[in-house]
Structure 1
Amino acid sequence: MSLGFRATGLEVPEPLRAQLTGDDVAARLVRKDPTLWGPEAESEAAIRLGWLDLPATSRELVGRLAELHAELQSEGLDRVVLCGMGGSSLAPEVICRTAGVPLVVLDTTDPGQVAAAMADLERTVVVVSSKSGGTVETDSQRRAFIGAFAAAGLDEDRIGARFVVVTDPGSPLSETASAMGARAVFLADPDVGGRYSALSAFGLVPAALAGVDVGALLEEAAELAEQLAEPGNAALELGVALGAGFHTGRDKVTLADGGRGGRDTGIQGFGDWAEQLIAESTGKQGRGLLPVVVESADAPGATGPDALLAVVGGDPVDPGPSVGVTGPLGAQFLGWEYATAVAGRVIGINPFDQPNVTESKENTQRLLDAGFADEPPLATIGAVELRAANGLLDGVDLTQHDGVSLALEALLAAVPPRGYLAVMAYLDRRRDARTGELRAALARRTEHAVTFGWGPRFLHSTGQYHKGGPQTGAFLQLTGAYTEDLPVPDRPYTFGTLHTAQAAGDRQALADRGRPLLHLHLTERAAGVEQLLDASCAATWTRIGSGEHR
């Protein structure tokens, strides 16, 4: 297998290519020139370009991680649970899926999913990963595991030895790790933002402890790093193509694995990582590129008049503009990070900040402090309660047996020109996995892009784009009743309360922007999911307000 990173099928306007060549962008980026994105971004960029050095600087982790992995294995600790969100969890998940190595990724506050992760404690080591050290989901999960280990009979010292911590120097979590006697603490480079941290300790520690050869990843990235100062290198060309697509009306980037998990590379689930990188980096100031992760290159919604299809590990496909991006996983990580930084320059934004990410978090905290207002449903049909914001369902007769279909049709009708529909599932992505089928089902019903995200996971990813990007989204939020709940130790709320507050806080942020929002609550999850899939796949939908059918 060639280690080369290649992007084929690119459409790059020659004047734009010449401009970037004349500005020496490739070499300046490798030199970590913070002026590339304009004076307003300079201070942030100056402390966010350390990812360019990671193929070399992260080599020092390899030996230490191999020793720690062997130590854990010798003690029978062969099950790794990663507690992390966004940039702290997405890269390790892709690395382990691609390598075929088990890793339990806990990036949710859904109590059922949290409870399932706390199985097989006698074999479990927990990696707690947070750049800021104050992520509420990760802190809650850490507390829950401490309680579970104590309930299993472990004393304080033995509990500490079950934890490995990854964080930034000086963060609250680094102090907590010392106080709890964590077995190992890995301090990451503070000049690397979370979504650019795939090749840092955040990406490598969980993967290595799970059994992946992370040294090979760094070698793959290092080969590409040697080429990045050259004008016309493949990562630069990819970034220019993405930015040019934005300026020519292709502001959606659909991401698909090539072939069976990646024809050249075996890469699995790369789109979930790239989604965060692209959405958080470009979705701000009312502009940006919307990443749309699709099931395959020929899935519903993979192509469209406002979309560029990127096939990871495969060739471009016809019809429609598409690019094929080949190369091994380590090179893919570095190449897409570089390309996204270049696209940010072309689009005219700072690719290293995320000004809107905290909004839903702040709403969540207010709701946890003040409590929830009762919001009776507009209707209950089967196992589905219907609620809506901004008059979305005004005039829709929800008393009909197909009221859920009518509500979904009203939402699709509310997607503006060149807009998108975001499905946001605050559910258990293991037990409620079939919910993910809604993306393709709804994409068959509209010409607009349809995205899917598990909440609260997506709040650390596309959540930035939803609030800071172009206000052209319509939103379907799904929540569900809990058959079990878990306390968050030493906190005045449960995981179910926190999960509910996160969904409500996100609804508030979107409703305050006047966006079309449909909230469907499943009073019984399995039945509700089946009901939604039936409604989304109905053979005939009545088009709201026109009496037409399709």
Structure 2
Amino acid sequence: MSFNLGPYGESVDHALAEMKVHDIMGRIWSRDHTVWKQDPTEITNRLGWLRVVEVMKDSINRLVSFTAKIRSEGFTHVILLGMGGSSLAPEVFSRTFHVREGYPKLFVLDSTDPDAVSYYADYFNPERTLFIISTKSGGTIETLSFLKFFYNRMVNTVGGDRAGEHFIAITDPGSSLADVAERHRFRSVFLNDPEIGGRYAALSYVGLVPAALIGVDLGKLLNRVGEMMANCRPANDPAGENNSGARLGAVLGELSKSGRDKVTIFGSPAIESFSDWVEQLIAESTGKEGKGILPVVGESAGAPEHYGNDRLFVYLRLGDDDTYTDLCNDLVHAGHPLVVITLEDEYDLGKQFFLWEMAAAVACHRLHVNPFDQPDVESSKILARRMVAEFKEKGSLPDEPPSLTDDGMMVFGTAQSDKAEKVLTDFIERNVKPGSYVAFQAYVKPEPATYAALQSLRVAIRDRYQVATTFGYGPRFLHSTGQLHKGDGGGGVFVQITSENVRYVSIPDGMEKSTSSMSFGVLKMAQALGDRQALLDAGRNVIRLHMIKDVIGGVNRLSGAIKSS
């Protein structure tokens, strides 16, 4: 790990010296909640990740035996149903390690878009598919909706007596999901350590069950984790050059306080999905009490002059990959701070999971926030539940007339033009200022063409206004960056993009129930409307653009308007 911090190096060294005097690393390892807050609530019971290797090494034999059984019974596909911390680490393993010959392929569903749900329902042979239902709380509405939908389909395919053989659960002891799994005779239930929070759960059953199923060598992975844990212990270095977690955390925290609070991550193509996991960890851990570090991932590389002075760059480099080497040299030459982290191979991701967990905890110490709570997440959930309740009572979601309808696009927000694209440019120019960021929240079907169009729009705004841009599919991002959006200092400018649904997909009212009082499309829209209202209630600037027919064409119109403005 190398650092080019320029004038910021002195403040980082001062922070490390101060941490050494107060034995911060030693106190973290001894589970001292006062490192962050005087109140131990949601701290002392959230430090199980510090012992994850010793706990999970005892589970390797169980996971290997379980995987062998799944293979021997001819399962060819595994679909993980989950959100946020329950889905992001499995996605990293799936996209990085792919699948060993003879092992099932792993897919992750974390979108309530009905077209996405339909794809997973239609594409896979149910009799050869194993579903992982992953939610630590056991109550995540999206995950339980997925479960009811796919369980009912499985009952219709193989019968009620055999349906449970196609499902396993990963959850905390005593959760409602654990009860459901027992009642419906799931093949297996993996009870996670309840003292590990969702975003810190990558190396628990949450990540390792799906990793085992695609043939990842768990012993090798956990040995790498152990190496990083040893590096981060105070016995190695109380807080200094050789303690990677302390140093990276101090860099994140101190540069954030100096205005470099947009951590822009580039990753070698083979490991780029890891950035999505880091995004949730950093955003949800730090984004509260009017503070926050914004992770910027997936933003296309640009020339140094397109970046403002609020950026800290991180290059996650696999082996001798040089994809971003020239860019990094140019960024340093232009005066931007840079951290380069080199991974020997894919198994070094084990080190990286723990490194970033420790760094997030240290950064939150420097920012004086609790890394383990998420106080602003509930606001969106409450509003979404109200809208769902209204739908069930009245048969429709709360009605709000658009302020403008223009050529297949509806605008919800202030409109002082008769052209939707002009409304967007006016909105951005009115609200963007140095240090702002523009967040695109797309409640649409995740697919490559849509992603490419939205990436083009991101680049157009970044290059035109020199501000950071982020992108997330809804409701997935609610479990990742949603906390920061409402809990940080208020620099976000939010562009919601919603769309009509091609297909109607019902959510069953329960396990083995054919009745339905709501669809996935309604759930998705309720969450979009709920989060928009939560953002407005938090004083954020939000505009919603609803694509009536052509999502990609509409987004391309917006990009063209930004480029020509």
Structure 1-normalised TM-score?
0.90
Which residue number corresponds to residue 93 of structure 1?
91
Q: Could you tell me which of 402, 406, 411 is aligned with 1:386?
A: 411
**RMSD, aligned CA:** 1.9
Aligned residue identity for 1:359 = S
SS of residue matched to 2:517: coil
Once the 2 structures are TM-superposed, how far is the Cα of residue 493 of structure 1 from its aligned partner?
0.7
Tell me: CA distance 1:540–1:45, structure 2 relative to 1, closer, same or farther (3 Å). Answer: closer
Which residue number corresponds to residue 70 of structure 1?
68
1:396-415 correspondence runs (5 A): 396-398=416-418, 400=419, 403-415=420-432
Separation (CA, whole Å) in 2 of partners of 1:297 and 1:219: 34
**Which structure 2 segments of 5+ residues have no match?**
100-104, 319-324, 392-396, 510-515
1:286-297 correspondence runs (5 A): 286-295=290-299, 297=301
1:344-383 correspondence runs (5 A): 344-371=364-391, 372-383=397-408
Which residue number corresponds to residue 467 of structure 2?
448
Tell me: CA distance 1:76–1:209, structure 2 relative to 1, closer, same or farther (3 Å). Answer: same
Does 2:340 correspond to 1:324?
yes
Which residue number corresponds to residue 490 of structure 2?
471
CA-to-aligned-CA distance 1:246-302 (integer Å, 9 cap, x gap): 1111111111104xx2xxxx4231111001000110000011111111345547998
The sequence identity of aligned pairs, in percent, is 42
Which residue number corresponds to residue 212 of structure 1?
216
Which residue number corresponds to residue 224 of structure 1?
228
Deviates most, 55-64 or 232-241:
55-64
Tell me: CA distance 1:151–1:300, structure 2 relative to 1, closer, same or farther (3 Å). Answer: farther
Tell me: CA distance 1:300–1:122, structure 2 relative to 1, closer, same or farther (3 Å). Answer: farther
| Counterpart contact for 1:480–1:521, Cα < 8 Å | yes
Tell me: CA distance 1:383–1:238, structure 2 relative to 1, closer, same or farther (3 Å). Answer: same
| Counterpart contact for 1:254–1:303, Cα < 8 Å | no
Which residue number corresponds to residue 528 of structure 1?
551
Aligned residue identity for 2:554 = Q
CA-to-aligned-CA distance 1:342-365 (integer Å, 9 cap, x gap): 000001111111001111111111
Separation (CA, whole Å) in 1 of partners of 2:46 and 2:556: 43
Tell me: CA distance 1:513–1:28, structure 2 relative to 1, closer, same or farther (3 Å). Answer: closer
Once the 2 structures are TM-superposed, how far is the Cα of residue 414 of structure 1 from its aligned partner?
1.2
Which residue number corresponds to residue 436 of structure 2?
419
Separation (CA, whole Å) in 2 of partners of 1:224 and 1:515: 39
Which residue number corresponds to residue 485 of structure 1?
504
Aligned residue identity for 1:89 = S
Tell me: CA distance 1:92–1:299, structure 2 relative to 1, closer, same or farther (3 Å). Answer: farther
Structure 2-normalised TM-score?
0.88
Tell me: CA distance 1:84–1:469, structure 2 relative to 1, closer, same or farther (3 Å). Answer: same
Which residue number corresponds to residue 272 of structure 1?
276
SS of residue matched to 2:308: coil
Separation (CA, whole Å) in 1 of partners of 2:35 and 2:329: 33
1:168-317 correspondence runs (5 A): 168-229=172-233, 230-231=237-238, 232=240, 233-258=243-268, 261=269, 266-295=270-299, 297-298=301-302, 303-313=307-317, 317=329
Separation (CA, whole Å) in 2 of partners of 1:492 and 1:53: 44
Q: Could you tell me which of 127, 131, 135 is aligned with 2:136?
A: 131
Separation (CA, whole Å) in 2 of partners of 1:32 and 1:212: 31
Which residue number corresponds to residue 29 of structure 1?
28
Separation (CA, whole Å) in 1 of partners of 2:163 and 2:28: 44
Aligned length: 519
Aligned residue identity for 2:24 = V
Tell me: CA distance 1:436–1:202, structure 2 relative to 1, closer, same or farther (3 Å). Answer: farther
CA-to-aligned-CA distance 1:370-396 (integer Å, 9 cap, x gap): 1322222222222321111xx4x3xx2
Which residue number corresponds to residue 4 of structure 2?
9
Q: Could you tell me which of 434, 441, 451 is aligned with 1:433?
A: 451
Deviates most, 245-254 or 194-203:
245-254
Separation (CA, whole Å) in 2 of partners of 1:159 and 1:301: 57
More helix per residue? 2
Tell me: CA distance 1:505–1:49, structure 2 relative to 1, closer, same or farther (3 Å). Answer: same
Which residue number corresponds to residue 107 of structure 2?
104
Which residue number corresponds to residue 57 of structure 2?
59
Aligned residue identity for 1:441 = A
SS of residue matched to 2:183: helix
Separation (CA, whole Å) in 2 of partners of 1:55 and 1:340: 19
| Counterpart contact for 2:85–2:200, Cα < 8 Å | yes
Which residue number corresponds to residue 18 of structure 1?
17
Once the 2 structures are TM-superposed, how far is the Cα of residue 540 of structure 1 from its aligned partner?
5.2
Aligned residue identity for 1:217 = L
SS of residue matched to 2:34: helix
Separation (CA, whole Å) in 1 of partners of 2:160 and 2:562: 59
Tell me: CA distance 1:114–1:223, structure 2 relative to 1, closer, same or farther (3 Å). Answer: same
Separation (CA, whole Å) in 1 of partners of 2:303 and 2:263: 14
Which residue number corresponds to residue 504 of structure 1?
529
Which residue number corresponds to residue 541 of structure 1?
564
Q: Could you tell me which of 19, 30, 42 is aligned with 1:44?
A: 42
| Counterpart contact for 1:7–1:238, Cα < 8 Å | no
| Counterpart contact for 1:280–1:462, Cα < 8 Å | yes
